Amino acid sequence: MPELPEVETVRRVLEEKISGQTFLSYRLGTPTFYRCPDDALLRNLQGLKILGVSRRGKYLILRFHNNRELILHLGMSGRIHFNENSPQARISLYFSKTSVYFQDARRFGRVMGRLPLLGPEPLSQDFNVDYLSSVLKNKKAAIKSALMDQSIVAGLGNIYATETLYLAGIRPGRKSCRARLDEIQKVVFSAQELLRRSISIGGTTLPDESYLDPLGRPGRFQDQLKIYGKTICPKGHAISRTTRLIAGRRAYYCRFCQR
C-alpha cells in the first residue's frame, strides 16, 4: 500500500488526533507482526506525552517527551485507524483520549525504536541532480531498483518509481550508469512533482482500497496515474512489461515513450 504520499497523509491525520496526549498502554495482537516489536521498547514509553508525529521516507515517527521515539512502518498492507471494534489489530496503542489501531493483514508492518539508514527525502534540497547523478554514475543495477532503494532516496515505491520513469522517458531496466544528466534532471523533477501533487490530494487508493487514511478516506491521485496499472499509455501505446524481474517484481513501461 503505502509510499511516501500515503504515509504523509496518515501522518497528518495522526498528528492532528493524538498530539499532546499521554501514551497509557498497548496491546499486541495474536499473532502480531512477523518481526515482533520489542516489548521493553513499548513499556518504556508508557506514561510519556506524545509531542507530535513526523515522517521520514515511508516511516512514521511518533515523537514523545524526553526525546523518545516510536517508529512505525506500514509494510504492504498496514493501516492505521481509530475504530474501536478491531480485535484483529496487530497492535493497539491507547492514548489518554484516543485509541490507535494498527491493522495489517500481511504482517509486514513494523514497530521499532530507531530508523534504519535512509537516503535523502525526495522533497528536500538534498535530492537534486548533483546528488542523484553522483550515486547513479557508478551503479550497474536497473535504474528502477536504484529509485526504490531506500538508502538512495527515501519514499519511492513501485507506483511512484514506475510513474517517475515514465515521465522521465527512461525504461525501468536501463542501467543506472547509462542515464544522461538531462534525464536525471527529469527524474528529480518528475518525482518531486508527482509526490507533491499526490500528497495534496491524499495519495493513491487503488481499486482494491487497500490504502485508506486513518479516517477511512481514499486518496484521489489514482486518477492521475499515467501507466501504473494501465494497459495503454497516455499516447495510446500498449504497455510492455519486462521479462526479467526488477527489484523482485515485473516492471511495466511504454517502449515507445521510454528509452
Partner DNA sequence: CAGATAACCTGCGTGC
Partner DNA sequence: TGCACGCAGGTTATCT
53 φ, ψ to 5°? -125, 125
116 is annotated as an active-site residue: no
Footprint on this chain of DNA (rule: CB under 7 A): 1-3, 31, 34, 57-58, 73, 75-77, 105-108, 116, 138-142, 145, 148, 150, 157-159, 176, 204-206, 208, 210-211, 222, 244-245, 247-250
58 is annotated as an active-site residue: yes
Instruction: Count CB atoms within 10 A of the CB of residue 216.
Output: 11
Q: Is 73 or 186 the residue whose CB approaches DNA more closely?
A: 73
Q: Is 155 or 167 the residue whose CB approaches DNA more closely?
A: 155
**CA 157 from centre of chain:** 6
Q: Is 141 or 201 the residue whose CB approaches DNA more closely?
A: 141
Minimum distance from residue 185 beta carbon to DNA (Å): 21
Quote the Cα angle for 148-116-142, to 5°. Answer: 20
Minimum distance from residue 174 beta carbon to DNA (Å): 11
3 is annotated as an active-site residue: yes
Report d(CA 164, CA 104) in Å as an integer: 28
Minimum distance from residue 150 beta carbon to DNA (Å): 5
The single residue of 11, 58, 90, 186 carrying the catalytic annotation is 58
Q: DSSP strand E in the chain: where?
A: 23-28, 50-56, 59-64, 69-73, 78-81, 91-95, 99-104, 110-112, 240-246, 249-253
Minimum distance from residue 47 beta carbon to DNA (Å): 28
2 is annotated as an active-site residue: yes
Q: Is 51 or 115 the residue whose CB approaches DNA more closely?
A: 115
Minimum distance from residue 149 beta carbon to DNA (Å): 8
Separation in Å, CA 247 to CA 55, 115, 118, 148, 171: 24, 22, 17, 8, 14
Q: Is 45 or 146 the residue whose CB approaches DNA more closely?
A: 146
The single residue of 3, 6, 15, 183 carrying the catalytic annotation is 3
Q: In angstroms, what is the C-alpha Rg of the chain?
A: 19
Report d(CA 119, CA 185) in Å as an integer: 18
Instruction: Count CB atoms within 10 A of the CB of residue 37.
Output: 22
Instruction: Count CB atoms within 10 A of the CB of residue 66.
Output: 10
Q: Are 52 and 111 in contact (CB under 8 A)?
A: no
- Residues tagged active-site: 2-3, 58, 249
